[in-house]
Structure 1
Amino acid sequence: MIRVCDVRTRRLALEPIKGHGGDVNSVAYSPDGKRIVSGSDDKTVRIWEAQTGTLSLTLNGHTGWVRSVACSPDVKRVVSGSEDKTLRVWDVETGSLVLGPLLGHTSWVNSVNFSMDGKKFLSGSVDHTIRVWDAETGHTMQTLRNQNNGIWSARFSPDSKQIVSGDSNDIVTVWDMQSNDSTALSGHKHWVYSVGFSPDGGRIVSGGKDHQIIVWDAKLGKAIGRLEGHSDEVNSVAFSPDGKWIVSGSWDKTVRIWEADRLDAMPDLE
């Protein structure tokens, strides 16, 4: 099920949203806040009314678990990535398939994300690659290869000049879109499940199997500090739109909201 919480009151804003026939792997708000998009082990993408939790559309087509969903900045399209190794792009209003199935990955697609201008989207896969796709044509524009490490999570920077990824070798990687050069950020002790940029692009947040949340200086490539409290794997992390808060979800069955500037020291920091 999906739960929507009021940040100020720390209480449920809606009754739990039910309808999927399997685990829900990914949820995303549309940029206008009017819709919630979800992807599930039941192989469907679903679109819900954010104010009421009412189901608007069920999108069928994937033949494997839907691992990740994202909404375009203009709220017209949704992209989904699946265990079936494909991506699909859907029309938010009609539920029709706009692009896809998009082929190219040779294993699970774990992560999808639109650029801020909506002109492209990315996908990260267990096949060790990140692919960047043209949002109009569905053609592959760029492929970034991560040696022998599967990609769990990948996100564009706000200016779309960089991509940050988390992988199965405990590394956060920052990729330069123009040069294809990459910088590896070390600090996690196990798989990195989730990554994201702050709205100003100055910081990166990552969460992983080691129960840690680490905040990095995106320009310097150094850890600023960490957030401690989860007692199990951290599945998802993100900055709030104003950059003041970080939200995290964990296998310890809690969602936590943190002040982004109140960090615990890293063990190797002076």
Structure 2
Amino acid sequence: MTFRDVLLQRLTFRRQKESKFHEIIVANNRLLQQNMDLEKRTKHLGKENTDDVGTSQRVQELDRRIRELNDERGEMYKTQSENAQRLVNLNEQLRTREEKDKKQTEHVKSLSARCDLQVHQLREKDVTIQILQDELAALQLEIHTTEEKSKRLVLENQQLVERWINKMNEEAEKMNEATQFYETALEQARDAADKQKRQSARRRDGSSAESTKNIPYSSIVLPKKVYKKINIHEAEIHCIAASSCGSMFATGGADKKIKLLDARTGHTLQTLNGALQTITSISFNATDEMVLGSGTDNATRIWSLSTHRLRHTLTGHIGKVYSAKFTADSNRVVSGSHDRTLKVWDLQRGSTIRTIFTFSSCNDICLMDADGQTLISGHLDNNIRLWDARTGAAIKELTGVHSGQITSVSMSPDGNSLLTNSRDNTLKIIDIRMYDIIKSFQSDTYRNGLNWSRSTFSPDGKYVAAGSTSGGIHIWNARTGKVEREISEHSSVVCGVAWNPNGDYLYSAEKNKAVCMWDTSK
């Protein structure tokens, strides 16, 4: 090492050694200076204390002022705290309002979108309406053109009809002129033959009248007490009917069975099964070869009485079938239903050949004529309607006859009058030719308790019979309208009565399973 380097090293070491006390020296000098300043201030304060007598009062005033300032500061802290709490509350309210405004903004956006959609839909509908209006105008123009064409065709048709009538009249006049000669030539011979026929007819009428006077007529005797009471069904009875030939009668009910009974002894001959629900009406054909039963399963079933087997099942109604009848030739059946229709069935094909819409539920039907060309139906709307079975057209509607629904309709033995039964507790006979009410029947003790309660004429047409809710059988005189006999053996509402066509028995059935036979021959 050179001398210069050694010297530089020693100087550096000395500076490092001495610099360790530099901060202590500086701090000591600063403390000395502060001590000197404090001594000077103390001297100055001591001098002031000796010179100023009111220093203590000033100090007190300063202390009081400090206390006031401290109190004021406390109040300000309190106020600041309250303001801080108010600020927090206001911030919370502001946040709530901002959220509410945000939701309202979103709702407004949704409503705006819906409004835009509706405006779009309205525009589309306006376009559709315009198209429909154009089509309507075109259709109206087409209708107008068609009407004009129809008027022309009607006018042409009238002209053709007039021409055809004139031509037919001309041909008829020619034929009348041609036949006039023959009529004139045969008139004298015809007159002579007519005179001879009238004379022979008078002789025959006189002899037949004398012979009929000698034949005694066995009139019906009204019963006084029950001949036989029978309980054969397992559930409620809904209907009863006598056979056409008078050899048996039948009952049907909620046990889905038809019971065939001997007309004189009441012994059960046969039980017919096959129905799915309650039997509502029974009818025999004219030769007692078949029997039908309508039911609440919307069907009518036909059994053969020779084999006691089910022969036809007629389905097509959409409501309960309350009544059905055979025509005289047994080739057709007419049924009436709760679905407001009548149906005419062809038994050879087993299908419907005509459906008649009746405007009201049908409770019962009957045939005005044996071949079934004219039908009579009684309805839930209190009206009676006549129908042409060939065309399905309405012939006549009888309104105001009853004030309650019709429960039964049946023709008189002579075929000139109709017997009706109603829930207004009256029966009426209507002249079917003039549509006039001939006789009305009622009694203080008679009450019609069922919508399917059936009434009946006696075979000679002199009496009318019906069952009441009390279980009594009322028999009226068909000519006078007076109650001839009131007999009671049943314990519940009577659902139907049927007279044997031979006139020797009256059959009645109550809903509570009992059947009564009344002897009307002695």
So what's the TM-score if we normalise by structure 2? 0.48
Matches within 5 A, 1:184-203: 184-187=440-443, 188-191=445-448, 193-203=453-463
1:117: which partner in 2?
370
How big is the shift at 1:162? 1.0
Kept after mapping to 1: 8 A contact 2:470/2:491: no
Describe the superposition over 1:52-99 as per-residue Cα deviations: whole angstroms up to 9, x where unpaired: 320001001000111111111222211111111111111233212122
Work out the CA distance in 1 between the residues paired with 2:468 and 2:352: 33
For 1:10-43, what per-residue CA distance to the aligned partner results, in whole angstroms no more than 9, with x for missing partners? Answer: 22111x2211111111111111100011100111
The aligned runs of 1:188-227 (5 Å cut-off) are: 188-191=445-448, 193-227=453-487
8 Å Cα contact 1:170/1:191 also seen in 2: yes
Does the aligned pair in 2 maintain the 1:216–1:225 contact within 8 Å?
A: yes
Amino acid at match of 2:410: R
Give the counterpart of 2:395 among 141, 147, 151.
141
What displacement does 1:116 show?
A: 4.4
2:406 to 130, 151, 156: 151
Indicate the larger mover: 195-204 or 234-243: 195-204
- 1:46, 1:58 within 8 Å by CA — same for their partners in 2? yes
Deviation string for 1:226-266 (max 9, x for gaps)?
A: 2310111111111111122111111121121112367xxxx
- Name the CA distance, whole Å, in 2 between partners of 1:47 and 1:29: 10
Distance 1:140 1:170 in 2: 27
* 8 Å CA contact retained: 2:402, 2:422: no
Helix, strand or coil: the match of 1:4?
A: strand
Shifted more, 115-124 versus 33-42: the winner is 115-124
CA separation of 1:246/1:147 partners in 2, compared to 1, >3 Å: closer, same or farther? closer
Which residue in 2 is equivalent to 1:97? 352
Summarize the Cα distance change of 1:77–1:201 in structure 2 as closer, same or farther, 3 Å threshold. same
Unaligned runs of 5+ in 1: 263-270
Quick one: which amino acid aligns to residue 368 of structure 2?
S
Counterpart secondary structure, 2:264:
coil
Equivalent residue number for residue 36 of structure 1: 291
Partner of 2:514 in structure 1?
254
Among the aligned pairs, what percent are the same residue? Answer: 29
Of 234, 259, 265, the match for 2:494:
234
* Gap regions ≥5 residues in structure 2: 1-256
Quote the residue 1:60 is aligned against: 315
Q: Structure 1: which amino acid aligns with 2:321?
A: V
Q: Which has the higher contact order (CA 8 A, sep 6+)?
A: 2
Partner of 1:126: 380
Rg comparison, structure with higher value: 2
- Cα separation, 2, equivalents of 1:181 and 1:210: 31
Q: Conserved in 1, the CA contact under 8 Å of 2:405 and 2:422?
A: yes
CA contact 1:112–1:123 (8 Å) conserved in 2: yes
Change in 2 beyond 3 A, CA 1:7/1:161: closer
> 1:166 — aligned with what?
421
Query: Aligned to 1:136, what secondary structure does the other structure show?
Result: coil
Measure the CA separation in 2 of the matches of 1:105 and 1:170: 24
Aligned position for 1:265: none
User: What RMSD, in angstroms, separates the aligned Cα atoms of the two structures?
Assistant: 1.7
User: Residues 446 and 474 of structure 2 are in contact (CA less than 8 Å); yes or no, is this contact kept in structure 1?
Assistant: no
Indicate the structure with greater helix content: 2
The SS at the match of 2:455 is strand
Query: Do the aligned residues in 2 keep the contact of 1:194 with 1:208 (CA within 8 Å)?
Result: no
For each residue in 1:169-212, what CA deviation from the matched residue of structure 2 results, as whole angstroms up to 9, or x when unmatched?
Answer: 11111112233222321125321621111222222111232322
Q: What TM-score do you get using the length of structure 1 for normalisation?
A: 0.90
Checking the alignment, whether the CA contact within 8 Å between 2:492 and 2:510 is kept in structure 1 is yes
- 1:46 corresponds to 2:276: no
Please tell me whether residue 20 in structure 1 is matched to residue 280 in structure 2. Answer: no
Give per-residue Cα distances to partners, 1:212-232, cap 9 Å, x unaligned: 211122122222112310111
Contact 1:88 1:97 (8 Å CA) reproduced: yes
